[in-house]
Amino acid sequence: MMYSKFRHDEIHIAFNGDEIERVTDPIIKSKADKVYIFTFYKEWTDPETGEKKFQVDQNLDKYQEVKKQLESAGIEVVKNVPKSLQNIQDPMGNYLDGIPVSYHDYVEIMQKISEIIINERIKDKNVNISLNLAVGSKITAIAGLDCARFWNINVYYVIPEFWDQRKNMDEPLSSGKMVCISPPHFEMKRPSNKLIRALKVINDIFEENKKIINDNYKKIEKITGLELTDNELNTKNVLDYEPLYEQINKVKEGLSSNQKKIIDQLHQEIIVKLQENQMGVKKSKLLKHLRLAHLVSSNKYDNIPISSKLAGKELSTFYGAMNKQIIHPLKEWNLIKENDTHKNKSIQITEYGKLFLKIFKYILIYEDLNNKHINNYKKSNGV
């Protein structure tokens, strides 16, 4: 017989910086079970040389002291440094440690915190998660607070009794009694999970187009022997594709008739996909995808199989349902725009919509994982 735990785990999330006690004090006092500590890391490309360069947390020595204190108190400190970054060191020879993240990237911070919350809530949906905003950058504080409101986790700020009263630089920046305060919790308004899922369906169409375009480029390279540049491979519209089209056509002249035919077919598919990504997906195509995802419904015609082709009143009814249930709400959130330049109207994701999906896709991951667990439970218990 299995018994549930009497006590739910206490998890803390914090950012490394030039202070130790403002990180360790609340974690140790709360008798936390586990802590995730982010460390600063940034990868960038030198615009002059094109060389990849790395900027590493200059307070890795502080991180090691934080880790030492927490582990001495019996608290697990999670480390998750990607393999590609494990040999990177700061000027003092300290290896990158903790959980690397750019302190200046709002989206990446939101994503990393969301991943932690999802992983912990899948293990225990009632787990206690707290986020420390006292140390880090202004962006980590802003993104952290937004993430806390979105996922409904605890958030706190640590105020020291004394601030910067050091007699020498080896002394801590803050000292004395540490007091934790929590800002008021305001609900973050966001679209429903259904709308976020619909936005992902639209985005998946464009992502699939990109994949087809890249696959076609590889096939063309293999047939012609050409080596396309990164700029050519990243062509985003038909106008920019024309020079590449002419280049490929010149090489095509020395090929067999069958090879020419294949290249023409690949060309045509590339142009169609580039046009769709540039101008938007037609609503007729989008309706099929939304119905397959069970995101558009009609009480009158829901008995019609999803694979069936719609016509007449049925088609008109589902168009109306799609506009009311998906298109209009997403437009109100400024996540999509409707282009009226074609006979058949098309839908495009706004830049805000793309950014939104990067952040809020985690709610779909969490929902899918939860549903999977529920279905597994039902199967194993004959429900």
Q: What confidence tens digit (pLDDT) does each residue in 315-367 have?
A: 889 889 999 999 999 999 999 999 876 566 899 999 999 988 988 888 888 88
Model confidence over 67-116: pLDDT tens digits? 999 999 999 999 999 888 888 888 888 888 899 999 999 999 999 999 99
- In our burial notation (b when 16+ CB lie closer than 10 A, e otherwise), range 340-372 reads eeeeebbbbbeeebeebbebbbbbeebeeeeee
Q: Which of 91-95, 103-107, 203-207, 294-298 has the lowest mean pLDDT?
A: 91-95
Residues with Cβ within 8 Å of residue 111, at least 6 apart in sequence: 358, 359, 362
pLDDT score of 171 = 56
Count of all residues that appear for the chain in the document: 383
- Residue 192 pLDDT > 60: yes
Q: What percent of the chain has pLDDT over 70?
A: 89
Residue 14 and residue 135 in contact, taking contact as beta carbons nearer than 8 Å? yes
pLDDT at 48 (0 to 100): 78
pLDDT of residue 182: 77
Higher-scoring residue by pLDDT: 102, 187: 102
Q: Could you give phi then psi for residue 37, rounded to 5 degrees?
A: -120, 120
**Range 194-218 average pLDDT:** 94
- Number of neighbours of residue 142 by Cβ within 10 angstroms: 14
> Cα separation of 140 and 23, whole Å?
14
Q: Is the pLDDT of residue 381 over 50?
A: no
Q: Is the sign of the CA dihedral 70, 23, 121, 96 positive or negative?
A: negative
Q: How does residue 237 score in pLDDT terms, banded at 50, 70 and 90? A: confident
Q: Which CATH architecture has domain 10-181?
A: 3-Layer(aba) Sandwich (3.40)
Query: What's the pLDDT at 361?
Result: 83
33 has pLDDT over 60: yes
Mean pLDDT of 266-278: 92
Query: Picking from 132-136, 265-269, 339-343, 360-364, which range would have the lowest pLDDT averaged per residue?
Result: 339-343
Considering the entire predicted model, what is its pTM? 0.77
Q: Looking at per-residue confidence, does 172 or 266 come out higher?
A: 266
Contact 16, 38 (CB under 8 A): yes
User: What pLDDT shows up at residue 240?
Assistant: 83
Domain residue ranges in the chain: 10-181, 193-377
